[in-house]
Amino acid sequence: MSVTYRAIETRDYEDVRRLFVAVGWKERGEDAERFERMIRGSTRTIAAYESGRVIGFARALFDDASNGHISTVVVAPDCQGRGIGRGLVTRLARFRLLRSVRL
């Protein structure tokens, strides 16, 4: 099956929250309001999709000057070991402020 990557949209929030819970990050995904603040506070978000299912997610934070960091990378347990996390990080690194970072 083919994996596609794109920025998440509001309609994806519930699926990403369920992914957090599935990997054991219940405290990050359980409270919908807190989760939404976390996503909205991110500079860049990206998710991996396979057959319409969210199987991975990553987010990054930037100061729009010189610093940025990847804050979260999560992949569904049944999809780990397939390079999906690497794909998420690679795509975040292509974002304008991380271009100078060596991977």
Side-chain half-sphere CA neighbours of 71 within 13 A: 15
Q: Is the dihedral of CA 14, 29, 70, 89 positive or negative?
A: negative
Q: What is the CATH number of domain 3-98?
A: 3.40.630.30
Cβ atoms of residues 78 and 39 within 8 Å: no
Mean pLDDT of 12-27: 87
* Residues 34, 16, 90: CA angle, nearest 5 degrees: 110
Phi and psi at 22, nearest 5°, equal -65, -30
How confident is residue 96, by pLDDT bands cut at 50, 70 and 90?
A: low
Kindly tell me if the per-residue pLDDT of 86 is higher than 90. yes
Phi and psi at 38, nearest 5°, equal -60, -45
Q: Where are the domains of the chain?
A: 3-98
